[in-house]
Amino acid sequence: MKRYSVFAIAREALRDHMGWERAWASPEPKKTYDVIIVGAGGHGLATAYYLGKNFGITNVAVLEKGWLGGGNTGRNTTIIRSNYLQDPSAAIYEKSRSLYETLSQDLNYNIMFSPRGVIMLAQTEHEVRGYKRTAQANALQGVATEFIPPARVKEIVPIINLDGPRYPVLGGLWQARGGTARHDAVAWGYARACSAMGMHIIQKCEVTGISRENGRVTGVTTNRGDIGCNKLGLVVAGHSGHLADMAGFRLPIESVALQALVSEPIKPCMDCVVMANTVHGYMSQSDKGEMVIGGGTDGYNNYTQRGSFHHIEETVRALIETFPMVARLKMLRQWGGIVDVTGDRSPILSKTPVDGIFINCGWGTGGFKAIPGSGWGFAELMAKGHSPLCAEFGLDRFYQGRFIDESVAAGVAH
């Protein structure tokens, strides 16, 4: 794999850019692999990458029924933060945030990481108390956050209206080293690095069955033939329940649509991410000038990738109160993704009842920010059978009653 650099750009400019090689190969599947990862989104590709980088396991196939990064990885609002209350959550998200800081250098691929900062607005007295508590918990966890007063919020976000008629801004939880990254670039960077290690990334390869023998996985059936493996990782977000059903076990998750939208491009006016959980809307500005807007999940189970109009209306109505300028913008495009949600709004990174099968799911609306940390921990779990990052996120927590309840802690799980 040729390294990308300023010198490579200059060289190719002199020869009409005809010397660039493919970022990743498109091989035919082999008969068997040591490890198969189902799902070529950010989490699946990150898992494959860290299997190779950290444990030397490179006889790996990543299977994707559609195109690489075409699921939730390409359908999110790119927020990166780690200001969670619960210790297990803060640990894995902070690991992820720290990996994001150097990911462009690690992958030799510009993921456009922007540590612009994240503010979570406190718009009720309850939220003020809750975020002050979270700031104290973060200090104990080694996560740098602080609770800031309204004047400081206004200083960071001049376009905000502090005196909304329903929900005035009473302060905010500020994480200066949070931010955003380019979602497609994260998937492409990991794919390029995996391919360079000799791993097979196989698109248009849908898994239609999972083979077992004496309680252990032996391979998968796909629309491109049977493929054997010693270990199988299921990393398919909203479709996790279907794959688990093929393997013969059930998951405590439900699938719902989460939607987002962007406005027409405008001049720079906001250089951080603002989340307003009371009114359930969040917004940032992209490098192209679009205002990137998101809200809550649909209120019913579904597999659509469009979402519903009433959620768009509710989200925009809430943000107009906090950011009056939004009222004058035109919507450029809108989309949805299928998220998998657990009862405690925390993920599952776990062994399963079938020996050799591992499951990574349940990220709900917070999957993008967790990609590097999720891949790091899940690769360790698959390689060694145990990972400190994943230990608290096992399937057994649901029947043991030891929930990691971020929905109660934060009021919303993003």
Residue 292 is part of a domain; what is its CATH number? 3.30.9.10
Q: Is 303 within 8 Å of 238 (Cβ atoms)?
A: yes
Check pLDDT > 60 for residue 411.
Answer: no
My answer on whether 202 and 69 are in the same domain is yes
My answer on whether 63 and 171 are in the same domain is no
Q: Is 113 within 8 Å of 178 (Cβ atoms)?
A: no
Q: What is the pLDDT of residue 196?
A: 96
Alpha-carbon distance of 97 to 301, in angstroms, equals 30
Check pLDDT > 50 for residue 366.
Answer: yes
My answer on whether 176 and 77 are in the same domain is no
Q: Where are the alpha helices (DSSP H) in 59-174?
A: 87-101, 103-107, 125-141, 150-156
Domain boundary residue, one of 297, 313, 342: 342
Task: Return the SS3 of 200.
Answer: strand
The first and second tokens of residue 360, run together, are 């990574």
Strand ranges (E), 22-110: 32-38, 60-63, 79-80
Q: Which amino acid is at 294?
A: G
Task: Return the SS3 of 322.
Answer: helix
Alpha-carbon distance of 47 to 194, in angstroms, equals 10
Beta bridge partners of 189: none
Maximum alpha-carbon separation in the chain: 64
Is residue 135 included in any domain, yes or no? yes
The first and second tokens of residue 45, run together, are 């590709």
For Cα atoms 368, 373, 378, give the angle at the middle one, nearest 5 degrees: 105
My answer on whether 132 and 242 are in the same domain is no
Which of 409, 405, 368, 388 is CA-nearest to residue 92? 388
My answer on whether 348 and 338 are in the same domain is no
pLDDT, mean of residues 233-255:
94
pLDDT, mean of residues 204-231:
96
User: How would residue 147 be classed by pLDDT, with cut points 50, 70 and 90?
Assistant: very high
User: How long a stretch of residues is the chain?
Assistant: 414
Q: What is the pLDDT of residues 196-209, one digit of tens each?
A: 999 999 999 999 99
My answer on whether 223 and 259 are in the same domain is no
Alpha-carbon distance of 118 to 125, in angstroms, equals 20
Q: What is the pLDDT of residue 305?
A: 76
Pairing of strands 200-202, 146-148: unpaired
Domain count, the chain: 2
The interaxial angle of helices 371-384 and 87-101, nearest 10 deg, is 110
Pairing of strands 281-285, 200-202: unpaired
My answer on whether 175 and 260 are in the same domain is yes
Q: Is 68 within 8 Å of 203 (Cβ atoms)?
A: yes
Q: What is the pLDDT of residue 142?
A: 96
- Range scoring the smallest mean pLDDT among 138-142, 152-156, 303-307, 373-377: 303-307
My answer on whether 196 and 274 are in the same domain is no
Alpha carbon of 68 to those of 24, 39, 59, 209, 272: distances in Å? 11, 8, 19, 21, 29
Q: Is 186 within 8 Å of 111 (Cβ atoms)?
A: yes
Check pLDDT > 70 for residue 307.
Answer: no
Q: What is the pLDDT of residues 98-131, one digit of tens each?
A: 999 999 999 999 999 999 999 999 999 999 999 9
Is residue 155 included in any domain, yes or no? yes
My answer on whether 366 and 236 are in the same domain is yes
The pTM is what? 0.95
Alpha-carbon distance of 391 to 351, in angstroms, equals 10
Q: What is the pLDDT of residues 254-296, one digit of tens each?
A: 998 888 899 999 999 999 999 998 878 899 999 999 999 988 8
Check pLDDT > 60 for residue 313.
Answer: yes
Give the gyration radius of the chain's Cα atoms.
Answer: 21
The range of the structural domain enclosing residue 171 comes to 118-181+255-342
Beta bridge partners of 6: none
The first and second tokens of residue 208, run together, are 């239609």
Strand ranges (E), 170-310: 171-175, 179-180, 200-202, 207-213, 216-222, 225-234, 253-263, 273-276, 281-285, 291-301
pLDDT, mean of residues 5-11:
90
Q: Is 144 within 8 Å of 178 (Cβ atoms)?
A: no
- Range scoring the smallest mean pLDDT among 90-94, 290-294, 401-405: 401-405
CATH number at residue 392: 3.50.50.60
Check pLDDT > 70 for residue 409.
Answer: no
pLDDT, mean of residues 64-88:
93
- Range scoring the smallest mean pLDDT among 175-184, 212-221, 328-337: 328-337
